[in-house]
Amino acid sequence: MTVHRFTSKPYMVVIALATLVLLLPLVLPSAFYLRIAALVFINALAVIGLNLLMGFAGQVSLGHAGFFGIGAYAVTLGPAYLGLPVWASLIGGAVFSALLAFIVGQPILKLRGYYLAVATLGLGLLISMVFTNEADITGGPNGMEVPRLVVFGWRAYGSQTWYWISGVSLVIGAWIAVNLITSPTGRAFRAIHDSETAARVLGIDVPRYKLLVFVMSAVYAAIAGSYFSLFDGFVTPDTTGFIRSIEFVVMAVLGGLGSILGSITGAAILVILPQVLTVFHEYEHIMLGLIMIVFMIFLPGGIVPSLAQRFRRRTA
């Protein structure tokens, strides 16, 4: 029973997700829905990374759209200026994000709470500013066309293709996240969240583990960002902006911090809801805001953890 805890239960989420990705195309009526699903998957990938940082290690970031943006621009700048293939640029974007997170993370992860929030916010704004202001290279606010991803001579485009690319990537991303949180490294992250003092005294090199989770979450965001712009075929500085950083945080919190399933749920709600709410025309944003408030009041631990807790109480 206790042994199973390390093997089966958390992996149920991955298996359920894989099944969902496999079966969803059978019920989705058109390419439009596949497109929405792909957007959910791409956002969820970034949010899972952010959740590792925020939900497990307890370190906030209000600048993750910066890393998302680096990924998004890497796949257009790499081919355009360095003559790199798109796939290599995607990897390059992830590596660059990791390096940036590694360098910037050392000083800013010493900060806590609000101070870390403001520092990461600054980092996100700074990255976004670079993409906006370096108009000669990035096209500035007008944005840039993004080339197609080509793998072994096969050109990836269209909703269906991106559904599968993003869906499979999300399953892999979730699997890696679950591996991590059920490992000694994951226990170190969670220990830091609850008591840094106790973690240090027990031999955990806290700065090192904070840096590790920050770098990992930056890589998740960068890969998601690359997918996002490759899927869209166009990239603008909005992709990297402050609003998107906030959206990621809202997805993570609304779905439930510390829950992988929560990250996916949060992403799904925040991508799908605005589509549904368009029927309310000018009241769309008011409705969205209201729904978010209601969710947080009635499911304060985030959707998935709160519902799970209620379910357990009822069955217990």
Among the listed residues 214, 25, 35, 207, the one whose alpha carbon sits nearest the alpha carbon of residue 123: 214
**Sites for another protein among residues 170-199 (CB under 8 A):** 175-176, 178-180, 182-188, 190-191, 193-195, 197-199
Residue from 156, 206, 287, 308 that binds another protein (CB under 8 A)?
206
**Sites for another protein among residues 243-262 (CB under 8 A):** 258
The nearer residue to another protein, 129 or 206, going by C-beta atoms, is: 206
**Residue 4 Cβ vs another protein, minimum distance, rounded to whole Å:** 11
**Sites for another protein among residues 207-236 (CB under 8 A):** 212
Q: Please state, in angstroms and rounded to a whole number, the distance separating the CA atoms of residues 42 and 27.
A: 20
**Residue 279 Cβ vs another protein, minimum distance, rounded to whole Å:** 40
The nearer residue to another protein, 283 or 311, going by C-beta atoms, is: 311
Q: Can you say whether the dihedral through the CA atoms of 231, 236, 101, 80 is positive or negative?
A: positive
Whether the Cβ atoms of residue 62 and residue 245 lie closer than 8 Å to each other: yes
**Residue 246 Cβ vs another protein, minimum distance, rounded to whole Å:** 25
106 binds another protein (CB under 8 A): no
Residue from 26, 29, 136, 201 that binds another protein (CB under 8 A)?
201
Would you list the DSSP string of 41-89?
Answer: HHHHHHHHHHHIIIIIS----S-HHHHHHHHHHHHHHIIIII---HHHH
Residue from 24, 88, 161, 200 that binds another protein (CB under 8 A)?
200
The footprint of another protein on this chain (CB under 8 A) covers a number of residues equal to: 33
Would you list the DSSP string of 120-167?
Answer: HHHHHHHHHHHHHH-HHHH-GGG-EE-PPEEETTEEE-SHHHHHHHHH
CA 34 remoteness from chain centre: 19
Q: Which helix (H) or strand (E) holds 234?
A: strand 234-235
Q: Which stretches of the chain bind another protein, using CB under 8 A?
A: 2-3, 6-7, 175-176, 178-180, 182-188, 190-191, 193-195, 197-206, 212, 258
